[in-house]
Amino acid sequence: MPSVILIGSQWGDEGKGKVTDFLAEKADLVVRYQGGNNAGHTVVVGEQEFKLHLIPSGILYPDKTCIIGNGVVIDPGVLLKELDYLIERGISIDNLRISERAHIIMPYHKKLDEVIEESKGASKIGTTKRGIGPAYMDKAARVGIRFVDLLDNEVFEELLEQNLREKNNLLAKVYDTDGFDKDDVMEEYLGFADRLRKYCADTSLIIHNALKAGKNVLFEGAQGTLLDLDHGTYPYVTSSHPIAGAACIGAGLGPTQISKVLGVVKAYTTRVGEGPFPTELNDEVGKHLGTVGFEFGTTTGRPRRCGWFDAVITKYTVRTSGLTSMAVTKLDVLTGLKTLKICTGYRWGNEIITEFPSNLKVLAQCEPIYEEMPGWSEDITSATKIEDLPVAAQNYLKRISELSEAPVSILGVGTRRSQTIIMDEMF
Ligand code: GDP
Ligand code: IMO
Ligand code: MG
C-alpha cells in the first residue's frame, strides 16, 4: 500500500511542486485533491521552468497517470490554457484524468470573488481572485455544477439557469454590478466541455485499482496548513482543506489506505495575502529571504511576506496532519546570514504560548520567542548528502526537526531535481 500524501506545512509555497516532481519519478499516479488554480507550483526540469496551477506536478514524466480529484475546483478555461501550455512545450497530457465529481468554477464565481473582496475594504482576505471561495460556497450550498453536469447539455443548462437567476440578482442588487448572459456562458462552457470530455473518469476507482495492484500513489496537496478552512488562520484562509485528512475526501479513498504523510517545510516562513504572521521580518533579513529566495507569488506575482522559521507552526502541522516526516526546502536561501533565529513559542502579555492559537486577536498580539543559532557562509547548492553541509547547517536542520517533533527525510538546496538530498525514501 505505497501511498504518500504530500502537504504544505506553513502558508503555502513551501516547494510542494518541486518535491512532488522529484518523488513522481517513483510514483505511478500523482493526484491533486483540493484547491484550484489559486495554487502555483513551480517545477524546474533542466533549463525549463514550469508553473502548474491545476495539473499535478507528475505531468512532466510521460508515463505517470495524473489525476485531478473530486475535491479540486476547476476553472475549465484555465485548465485548457494550462494543457495548451504543456503541449506547446512538448509535454504529453494523454495520461490526465479528471474526476467527474469535481466542481466547476463559473464566471460568476470569479466576479463574486472580486466584488466580495472589494466590499470588505481594509478587512479583505487578499484572495487570488480566481473564484475559489465562491465555487466552494456553492458546493457546500448544494448548487454547484460538477464536471459530470457540465458534460450533459440539458443538466448544465438547467443548473446554469438556476444559478444565474440567483447570482445575477446578487451581483445587481447587493454589489451593483453587471451579471452574465445565459447564452454567452452556455456557448463558452459547452466549448470547454467538448475539449475536456475525454479526460472525465471515476478517478476514485482508478486510485483504488492502482493501490490494489500495489502501485505507488502520490497525493499532491495545494496551499498549506495555516490556510486550512478549519485549522488555519481563519478567516485569512482558503476555502478548502490543505491538511492531509482532505486527501481521503478529495480523492475518494479511506484513511487506512495511506502509508505516509510528508510535510513540505520551507527553511524559513512566507505568506501571501493578509492576516497575522508572528515571525514576519520587515528588515534587511526579510529582504534577503525575499530576494535570494525569489519570493514572489507563482499565481499572482505578489511579493511574499517573509520571516524566520516558526516551530510552533510546524509542530502544529505535525499534529494536524500526522506527518511521518518533513521535506525541508530552500535551506540554501539561508546561506550568508550570520545568525539564524527559530521561533519556539510566543509571548502574549505575561503568558507563554507554545501551541498555535485559534484566536486571531491573540495571534496578532503574539511576540515570537527566538532561539539563535550561528549561520554559515559556504555555498551548499551542490551538496548531495547531509555530511556535505557545514556543521552549522546540519545543526539548524537537526534543531528544526527536534522542535517540530518530526524527522527530516528530504532536503532541498536549490530549485533543480538534482539539488535534492534524500535521507529516507518515500517509495
Ligand atoms: P509550491 O506552491 O509549494 O509548489 O511552491 P512554489 O513553487 O510556489 O514556490 C517555491 C519556489 O521555491 C519555486 O520557485 C521553486 O522553484 C523554489 N524552490 C523549491 N525548492 C527549493 C530549494 O530547495 N531551494 C531553492 N533555492 N529554491 C527552491
Ligand atoms: P500553493 O499551492 C500561497 C492564499 C491567498 C489568500 C488566501 C485565500 O502555491 O502553495 P483564495 O484565492 O484561495 O481564496 O485566497 O490564500 N493562497 C495561497 N498562498 N500559496 C498558495 O498556493 C495559495 N493559494 C491561496 O494569497 O491569502
Ligand atoms: Mg505556490
163-218 confidence digits (pLDDT tens) = 999 999 999 999 999 999 999 999 999 999 999 999 999 999 999 999 999 999 99
What ligand is nearest to the CA atom of residue 304? 2
State the CATH number of the domain containing residue 251. Answer: 3.90.170.10
User: H/E element holding 156?
Assistant: helix 153-173
Q: Which atom of ligand 1 is nearest to the CA of 264?
A: 3
Same domain, 252 and 313: yes
How many C-alpha atoms does 345 have within 13 Å on its Cβ side?
Answer: 9
In a domain, 255, yes or no: yes
The whole-number pLDDT of residue 257 equals 97
Ligand 1 pocket residue status of 333, Cβ below 6 Å: yes
What region does 395 belong to: left with phi over 0, alpha with psi -120 to 50, or beta? Answer: alpha
How far does residue 16's CA lie from ligand 3's centre (Å)? Answer: 8
Residues (pLDDT < 50) of the chain are none
Q: Which atom of ligand 1 is nearest to the CA of 414?
A: 24
- The count of structural domains within the chain is 2
How far does residue 398's CA lie from ligand 1's centre (Å)? Answer: 21
In a domain, 427, yes or no: no
Ligand 1 pocket residue status of 250, Cβ below 6 Å: no
Same domain, 360 and 264: yes
Terminal alpha carbon distance of the chain:
10
297-329 confidence digits (pLDDT tens) = 888 888 999 999 999 999 999 999 999 999 999
Same domain, 344 and 237: yes
In a domain, 186, yes or no: yes
Same domain, 191 and 331: no
Same domain, 281 and 218: yes
Q: Which atom of ligand 2 is nearest to the CA of 273?
A: 27
The whole-number pLDDT of residue 1 equals 60
Residue 415 neighbours by CB distance under 10 Å: 18
The whole-number pLDDT of residue 325 equals 98
Q: Is 310 a catalytic residue?
A: no
User: Which of 176, 198, 220 is the last residue before a domain boundary?
Assistant: 198
Rounded CA-CA distance 297/41 in Å is 10
Residue 11 neighbours by CB distance under 10 Å: 27
Residue 322 neighbours by CB distance under 10 Å: 17
Ligand 1 pocket residue status of 14, Cβ below 6 Å: yes
Q: Is 103 a catalytic residue?
A: no
What ligand is nearest to the CA atom of residue 421? 1
Same domain, 139 and 278: no
How far does residue 41's CA lie from ligand 1's centre (Å)? Answer: 8
54: domain range?
A: 3-92+202-422
| C-alpha of 124 from chain center | 21
